[in-house]
Structures are given as C-alpha cells and as structure tokens.
Structure 1
Amino acid sequence: MPDDDAPDNGGYAVSVDENTLQGLPIEPQGLPGSPQTEENTNRRPTPADDQSAPIDLRTGPLSEDLDDTGRVARDNQREPPIDGHPRTRTEADPFAPLGIRARSFILRPSIEQGIRATSNADTSSDGRSAILSETTLRLGAQSDWSRHQATLDASGNIVKTLSGQKVDEPRIDIESGLRLDLNDATKVNIGAGYHLRRESASNPSGVIGALKRPIVQTLNGSLGVERDMGVFFGAATARVERSVYGDAELSGGGKVTQKDRDANLVTVTLRGGYEISEAIKPFAEIEAGRRIYDQKHDSNGYERDATRLGLRVGSIVDMGEKLNGEFSVGYLRENIEDERLKDIGGLWVNAAMNWSPERGTDVRISGQTIVDGGTAPGDSGNILYLANIDVKRLIRANLTFETGLDLTLRDNRDGTSLDYGLGAEIGATYWFNRFVGINGRLRHEFMKSDVSWREYTANSVYVGVKVQR
C-alpha cells in the first residue's frame, strides 16, 4: 500500500505511516488499534500501521462454535457491537487452527517463513531490487469464560536481505482487549496496544535522503462504556495515543533528531443511536480531543498543538454473515495553536464491512481517515484517506484464493496537491493438513505525487510455508 505515516488511531483519525493499512490487521474493533487478522498481516504495512495501528479495519476477533471438527468453542458468544466490530463467519472449518488450551484461555500460535523477490526493497523513489527472507511470528489468545471476554493479538516480522538492497524494516504489533459484562445492557471495554514501524519513504514529513528512516513507536489505550436502552443505545470512549520517533540516520554518518514530532493524542468520543431493526442501527457520533506535542515549539519555532473536533453519522449493519459491519461519514477538524499555520479539516470517512455474496466467498471493505501533522515551516500537515477491498474465495476445503485492492489518497496542505497510490495483490493458500500449509502472492503497487522523491513503483512475488497450532 502506498504512502506514509502519522500518529492517530483505529477507525478514528490518526497520524500514521501509509505502510500500515495492509500490514495490520486491520481488525475493525472501533477502538484504537484493533487486532490483526492473519490474512492481512503479511501484506506490506500501510500508513495507519506506522503509528497505530491498527486499525484494524478488517474484522473483529473470531468467535468459534464447538463442532464436529473439534474446533475450540467459547461459552460466551460475542455480542453485536455498537462500536463497529463486524462479525466473522462461524461455520466449521476443517483446516482452522485447533488452538492450545492454557487454563481458561485458548492460544493460537503460528509461524510463517518465506522468500520475497521485489523490484523495490524499501518502496522508495530510488529503491533497488532484492531477495528477502521474511519471518512472521503470531500469537492469538482468547478467553473461554462464561462471562466477560479477553483477547490478545500479537505479531512480529523479521526481514533479512539475502541479496540486493539491504533493508531493515522491523514490525511489531500487539493489541489487547478486555470486555466486562456488567449486566445484559451495560459493558465496559478496555484496550491497550503497542506498534513499531520504520517510517515510510514517501512520508511528506520524512527526512529526504536519509540512509535509515526513523523508527516510529506507538502506544495506545482506551476505556469505554456502552449501554443498550431498549431501541436506543449509547457509548462513551476515552482514548490516549502516544507516538515516539527515533533519529533519522544520514548517509554521511550524522543523525537528525525527530523529537519535534513526539506527541500525545487524547480524545473522548460520544455515540448515540436508534435501533430501527435488528439489521439496521443508525447512529451519530461526536469526538473532541487535543493533540499535545512534547516540545511546545518545534525547531522552526512553530507551536503545533491542536484542538480536535469531529462529527459523523453512520449505521451499524447486521444481516448475519451475508452483510455486517459499520460505516460512517462526517467532518473532522484540527485547529492548530500557531496562527501562522492553517487549520486542517476535511471529510471524515470510516468503514468496516463484511459481505458474503455466496457461500465460500467473503468480501471485506474498509476505510480510514487520518490527520497527519506536518514538520516543515508553514506546513500544517495533511489528511490521509485509506481504503481496502479484499476478496477471499474458498476453492476447496484446503485451498483458498485471495485478491486485494488498496487505495491511498493524501490531501497535502503544503501546496503540493494530492499524492495518490494504488496496490493490487493476488494470492493463494494451500493446506496439507490442519497444521502446515504453503502460500504465495503477487503484488504491484505505486505512488504518484507532484514531488518526485515521494513517488515509487514496486512489484513483488512471495512464497512461504506456514505452521499453525
């Protein structure tokens, strides 16, 4: 997926590296930083993942039923969320991981080892070809309690150059959640996460010509309450996100500090809705918050702290496995303290939908809006729009075909117009048994911009082996 990074979060505006939307899971949990799904973790990260993760925008944690395949069951089935967590299919899958029981938790570890040949190893304007070894470790955990629910989704990616351009692109994603069922109508949701990425080469706020781009670390936490009141429902959620940037290393041997960009984003979101039917639940939502930088003035003398306000309307859709999820549209604005910098405002679009047109075919549609602060003199920042469509087709019980399309659109406020990118991918996974499988994929992506150093084109092919339990 093309583009950059910034610090913000989940279906809500954030500043992230455009390398995130695909790497992360995008599990649409509605809370900042949702867990990833295994199908998406292998894709190149997009902007939302650099700092946040996550996103997830794809699907919420799996909710399994005990069936004749021996698949582990949960006693408490997931409640239809009012926070935009689309549900996933629960039918029997003979090649799904069994999991490992650890007291009252079910653990699902996996490891994937593969080789990727690419024409542009670091997706930069001057990137070169390389053959890379990629190792991905994952651990999913879910409670098996009669009441309440706890989840953990962790993954890490190690890339080593076998030949060609040397790259160092570490990635770590950890998301956890706890749902407390106070009663049938009231729930408390607690979330926490940690994400690590190297900043995208096409980020407008990056250091031009850096030998090593800065590492970006994002920590997030959330606390929310949701309540059903007959045909009405409501929710209140507080979120905190912390973004920390490492130094950029120059080819001449020096370093450029990025401490100007370290910041905290604190938001409070209120949602109210009306249940027209079991299938359609429209809502309105208001978000208010504050972006606070560690340094009151950056190295150019600008005060970039900002007050944030957004309003959106949308609907939760629940028509069973045929169609479920959430979508919304509205307006988001950040008013910057320094009068020399223009405020950033624009369309606020978010979506996380699952559609199954026929048995064996699953379509996931996701969208995210991100506010990304600037660093150059006079540059307020930009608004980043991300969208994904992923299609998964079950050819036979142990063979799956997958294809995906992702779009990036960056509305720059520095006078450089729009940056836009497109990524297309096809792949397949074949399982020898419930524990071992092979997968492969082809990918093409590009980024176009009025600024030459933000542009790139990359083609890659990947073949790997996956072991799960």
Structure 2
Amino acid sequence: MTLRALLPCLALVACHETSAQAQTLTPDLFRPTRGDFVSPQDLPLRKTASSNSVGGDNAGGVDINGNSTDDSGLRGEDTPAPSRIGQIPTYGLPAANGASDSGFDSLNRTRKKPQLYPGQAKPKAPVGPGSSPPTPPPVNAAGYLRLSIAPSESANKTPLPPAMAGTVPGQPPRKRLKVDDDPFGAVGDYAGSFLIESAVEVSAGYDTNPGRTNVPKGLPFWVVAPEFVAVSDWDRHALVADLRGSFTGYGNSLPPTIDGAVSSAPTDVSRPNFIGHVDGRLDVTENTYLTAQARLLVSTDNPGSPNVQAGLLRYPIYTSFGGTFGIDQNFNRLNVAVGGTVDRTVYQDSALTDGTTSSNDDRNFNQYGGVGRVSYEVTPALKPFVEAEGDTRVHDLEFDRNGYDRDSSGGYAKVGTSFEFTRLLTGEISIGYAARNYVDPRLNQLSGLLTAASLTWTATPLTTAKFYSTTSIDETTLPGTSGVLTRLYTFEVDHDFRRWLTAIGKFTYGTMDYQGDGRTDQVYTIEGDVVYKMTRNLWIKGTLRRDILDSNIVGAGSASTVAMLGVRLQN
C-alpha cells in the first residue's frame, strides 16, 4: 500500500528532472538600439539554428565557409514564436518631443497658448521623456555649491503672488483691465450703487471792469466753484444728479460815481451762480420708459445788461426751478418722446444805495408747456429728428412797472440730426424757427431763426475741437420792447502738450436783438486756459480772458480783461 501511494509522487519527480535537463538556459541579450534588456525568447524574429553548421544544434563551431556558428542564442527551426496575444507592448525609445502647441489635439479641440498677464513668468515645461538634462547647480570659484543668487541678478525682481500671477489651481481666468484713457481724470467713489464725483475750484485774480460799464474800474476778486455728480449703477432704471455752482466775490466795492458820471453798476458786484438738474428714467418695458427731470437755476442779471436798475446796492438774485415729466417709446428704429414742463421764476427785491428797496414782483412768472420729439435711426451713426415745443407764460402781476401786460405764448420747431462719424466727429445739429406773441397789443411778435449745435471733432489724439450754438428768447423790462432774441456761438480747441499739460483756446460770439427798441448788442469773448495736472486730485489752472460788448446805443459798450489763477481739487 505504501509503495502504491508513492508511485505518483516518484513519477512527478522524474518528469520534473527530465524537463530541467531538456531546458537550455540562455543569458539575456542587451539591445543597444532599444536601451533595455530583452530576453531572447521575447525576440520573435531572431535567427534559427542552421542544419549546415558543424557541431550540431547549440554547439559552437565553424561552417563550411569558416564562419562561426555559435547559435546558442538562436531559436530552433521547429520551435514556434511566442504569442503576442494579451501582452502589452513596450517601447524603449522616448516619445517624440518638440511638438507644437497649436493646431488640434486628439479630440479635435483647438490648442491655444495660455495668455500671460503683465509680470507673470512663463511656466516651465514639465519634466518627461525627451526633456533636456537638468542644469547643474551653480558653484563658486572654489568649487563649492552656491546656495544664494547674487544681489545683482535678483535686483528689481519681486515675485508676484500666485493669485495675481494666475498660477493657483482652479482659479478662474482674470479679466484684463480697460486701458485708462484719462490717467489724470477723477476716479470717484462708490456710495452704495452710486458713483460719485466731486470737485471744488478755488481761484483768485483781477478784473479791469467787473461792472461792465463804459468807464472801467478794476477790482480784485476770488471765486469758489464746487461740483457734484452722482450716477446710478443699476441694471434697470437710471438716476443722474449734476450740480454745479460758483460764487464770485470782490474785495472792495465800486463807487456810486466814476469820474463824475453816475455808474449803472451796483456798488457790490459780487454774485452767485448755480445750475443743477436731476434726471431719472423708469424702465417700464424694454421699449417704454418714463422720464423725469427736476432743475434749479440761481443767478443774476448779466453785468452791463439794460435790465439792471440804476442806484443798486447789489444785483438782485433770481431763482428759476421746475420739472419735466414724460414718456419715451421705441417702435423698432422709430422713437417718440413727449413731455410736459412746469417752471417758475422768482426775483429778489432790489436793494438801493439810499437804503430803500424796490419790488420785482412784476418780473415773476410761471411757465407751462409741452415738448415732443420724433427721431428715426437710419444707421447707428445717423439719427435725424423733428422737435416742437409750445408754452404759456403767466406773470404774477397783470401789468409791469411800465404798464405793459407781458403775458405771452410761444414756442419753436426745429429739425436736425445726431451723428457719429468714425468717432472723429460726433454731436447734434439743428435749425428751426422760434416765435412769441404777447397779450399787450403794443408789444410786437418776437420771432427769429433758431440754431442749436453741439459738435466735437477729434482732429488728432492730442487735439480736440468743439462747437456750441444756442438760441433763446429772454424777458426784459425795457418799455416798448417785446423781448430779447439771444444767439451764442462758441468755438473751442483743446490740445494736450503732455498728458499732464493742456492748453485750451476759446472764442465766443453772440448777438442780442431787443425787438421793439431797436437796440442790438454784440458780444465777443477770447479766452485762453492752461491746465497743469499734478495728480488725479490736484490741478493748477491759469486763465486770461478778454470780454467786449459792442452796442449801437451810445455809452452802452464796455470792455474788460480778466486774469485768474487757481487750483482744482477733485475726487
């Protein structure tokens, strides 16, 4: 039983011994072309043993031609080649390097080079097959390893934080900042959702004829002019507030008589000026908007005007305030805007040099009216329009100081267009006709040609030319005179010698037609300004201006020269 149990084990041992004797051990061969070690059994196309060799299979010797026949590393003719099925091929050669990062990848996606921001270092290529050998560490003259970089090589090379360099994994791409076209302009501050810009100009100078009288008398003066602008930053609706004012004060007072003649100017020629408006827009739908404006004007009669009374202590101040409420509707390229207006003008009582006062209630009036405008967008750069306005003026007193009933009704109609030609010439220009009829039959109709323009021409990146034109119908107190038809034309050129140094030249021409009285005045103003922008918040400004009033009435003309130097603080 024991012998019978051991027979299978002895058979297995015998078979193992026979297989071990029949197996030939062949040393591994090195393939220098591949760069790794491969066993001869893994070479499917190696030479087989030749039958004409001397010495038999796997025996070293020479053939009939005298060549060595040591084929110890060759596979026999009858031995099959090893199968490649299920095996993962290996390649000893490195992958091709230097491939372009443009074109398309294996998924047909466009390859784009990464955009580098200013100051960001170009990322190094990852280490892999085909990479150049690493640069050996720097050593000094003695052969020792240098652990630091010389100061001369690292000067002015401050590394950027990873968040700014864009090297943080998963960081969203940074947007490039818009180029600042005005590096010395006001930046402003945000208060909630409003961008607020504020400024104040403080100036001082000398005026050779502040009263604009025929006999000049000069005085020094100072000016304080604050500004405030607030603009909403909303996705829908809008609100804008623009408030600007000034006060001109004179150090001394003018005498009541100049060279023996009675002066028509007040003894105190100081005067304020303020103009402001708040505009709002309510977006009802994508094409329908409700609009509103509240406005305020505080000023005095212009020096040299015939409305100025004789013997005044100071100029009487008048205040004009009101609003416009309307609707704006778009019909594709057609736009229709209509609105109603309400305004009131109130004059302060006049203070006289003898200590008494004179009422100006006859100059107070209310104005009610409406305005409409239809425009069509031919192209985004050309938008012609037609505009018409009508109003009625009702005074507080039926008759003025000279016994005239100055209640009236009037309006205007004009056609024009707004345009934008390649950003070089932009603006709006129009022409029309204005007229006003008075209740008193002794006052003739006041009418005339109406011109309005606001053009900006960018001649060069450093030079800009502007043209302004306005026409208005103003009230007057002269007996027998219906009103004043005033037209003003202004041409201005701005040139930047440097970004921080700007020169401004301005010329203004105007006509004032007192219809019914026969008086006609012409005004000329030549002005030159130099602005030195020290920082965004501090400017220095110098002004030299010449004002001329030429009238067909003897003794009504005047001339004045103004020199002024000041600073502007803005934020």
User: Shared fold (TM-score greater than 0.5)?
Assistant: yes
| Letter in structure 2 aligned against 1:282 | P
Q: Are 1:135 and 2:224 matched, yes or no?
A: yes
* Structure 2 match to 1:255: 357
Q: Within 2, Cα distance between the matches of 1:368 and 1:376?
A: 23
Question: 1:124, 1:137 → 2: CA distance?
Answer: 29
Q: Runs ≥4 in structure 1, deviation > 4 angstroms? A: 66-69, 163-166
User: Judging changes above 3 Å, is the alpha-carbon distance between structure 1 residues 102 and 330 closer, same or farther for their aligned structure 2 residues?
Assistant: same
Partner of 1:435: 537
Task: Provide the C-alpha distance between the structure 1 equivalents of 2:396 and 2:555, rounded to a whole number of angstroms.
Answer: 29
Deviation at 1:438, TM superposition (A): 0.5
Pair 1:381-2:470 in alignment: no
Query: 1:68: Cα distance to partner?
Result: 4.8
1:160 aligns with 2:249: yes
State the shift of 1:339 in Å. Answer: 1.1
Aligned partner of 2:396 among 294, 301, 304: 294
> C-alpha separation between the residues in 1 aligned to 2:463 and 2:284?
37
Per-residue CA deviations over 1:97-142 (Å, capped at 9, x if unaligned) read 1111111111111121111111112333344211112111111111
| Structure with greater Cα Rg | 2
Q: Residue 273 of structure 1: which of 371, 375, 378 is its match?
A: 375
For residues 72-87 of structure 1, the aligned pairs below 5 Å read none
Give the direction of change, closer, same or farther, for the CA distance of 1:126–1:199 in structure 2 (3 Å limit). farther
Moved more, 371-380 or 330-339: 371-380
Which among 522, 525, 538 is matched to residue 420 of structure 1?
522
Distance 1:263 1:201 in 2: 22
Structure 2 distance, partners of 1:377, 1:160, is 32
Q: Decide which moves more: 179-188 or 274-283.
A: 179-188
Query: Who is 2:298 aligned against?
Result: 196
Residue 170 of structure 1 aligns to a residue whose secondary structure is strand
Q: How does 1:19-418 map to 2 (within 5 A)?
A: 67-68=177-178, 92-162=181-251, 165=254, 166-319=268-421, 321-418=423-520
- Structure 2: segments with no counterpart, 5+ residues: 1-175, 255-267
The answer to whether the 8 A contact 2:456-2:464 is kept is yes
Write the distance in 1 (CA, Å) between the matches of 2:309 and 2:446.
22
SS at 2:213's partner residue? coil
Distance 2:206 2:477 in 1: 34
Question: In structure 2, the residue corresponding to 1:321 is in which secondary structure?
Answer: coil
Question: Which residue pairs with 1:13 in the alignment?
Answer: none
Q: What is the deviation of 1:266?
A: 1.9
Give the SS at the match of 2:362. helix
CA pair 454-239 structure 1, distance change in 2 beyond 3 A = farther
Contact 1:128 1:164 in 2 (8 A): no
SS at match of 2:271: coil
Q: Give the TM-score of the pair, scaled to structure 2.
A: 0.64
**3-state SS, counterpart of residue 212 of structure 1:** coil
2: distance between equivalents of 1:272 and 1:460? 44
Distance in 2, matches of 1:240 and 1:115, equals 38
Q: Distance in 1 between matches of 2:560 and 2:547?
A: 5
How far the C-alpha of 1:329 sits from its partner, in A, is 0.9
Partner Cα distance (1:131, 1:260) in 2? 35
Distance (whole Å) between structure 1 residues aligned to residue 284 and residue 465 of structure 2? 34
CA distance in structure 1 between the partners assigned to 2:391 and 2:567 by the alignment: 44
How high is the TM-score relative to the length of structure 1?
0.77
Q: Does structure 1 retain, via aligned residues, the 8 Å contact 2:221–2:250?
A: yes
Determine which structure has greater relative contact order: mean sequence separation of CA pairs < 8 Å that are 6+ residues apart, divided by chain length: 1
- Aligned equivalents of 2:496, 2:502: Cα separation in 1: 5
Q: Distance in 1 between matches of 2:498 and 2:292?
A: 39
Aligned match of 1:77: none
Contact 1:361–1:394 (CA under 8 A) maintained in structure 2: yes
Aligned to 2:164: none
Amino acid at match of 1:217: T
1:325-345: CA deviations, max 9, x gaps?
Answer: 211111111111111211111
Alignment length, in residue pairs? Answer: 383
Specify whether residues 321 and 370 from structure 1 end up closer, same or farther in structure 2 by C-alpha distance, changes over 3 A only.
same
> Percent identity at matched positions?
26
* Conserved? CA contact 1:125–1:452, under 8 Å: no
CA RMSD of aligned residues (A): 2.0
**Which 10-residue stretch deviates more, 317-326 or 236-245?**
317-326
Q: Does the residue aligned with 1:331 lie in a helix, a strand or coil?
A: strand
1: CA distance between counterparts of 2:362 and 2:535?
51
1:428: how far off? 1.2
Q: CA deviation at 1:67?
A: 4.4
Change (3 A) 1:127 1:146: farther
Contact 2:443 2:516 in 1 (8 A): no
Stretches of structure 1 that go unaligned for 5 or more consecutive residues are: 1-65, 70-90
Report the equivalent of 2:547.
445
Q: Deviations over 1:48-81 (max 9, x none)?
A: xxxxxxxxxxxxxxxxxx9457xxxxxxxxxxxx
Cα contact 2:301–2:307 (8 A) shared by 1: no
Q: Which residue of 2 aligns with 1:47?
A: none
Aligned equivalents of 1:453, 1:265: Cα separation in 2: 35
One-letter code of the match for 2:339? T
In structure 1, how many angstroms separate the alpha carbons of the residues matched to 2:424 and 2:220?
A: 41
Report how far residue 268 of structure 1 moved.
Answer: 0.9
Q: Is the 8 A contact 1:222 1:239 kept in 2?
A: yes
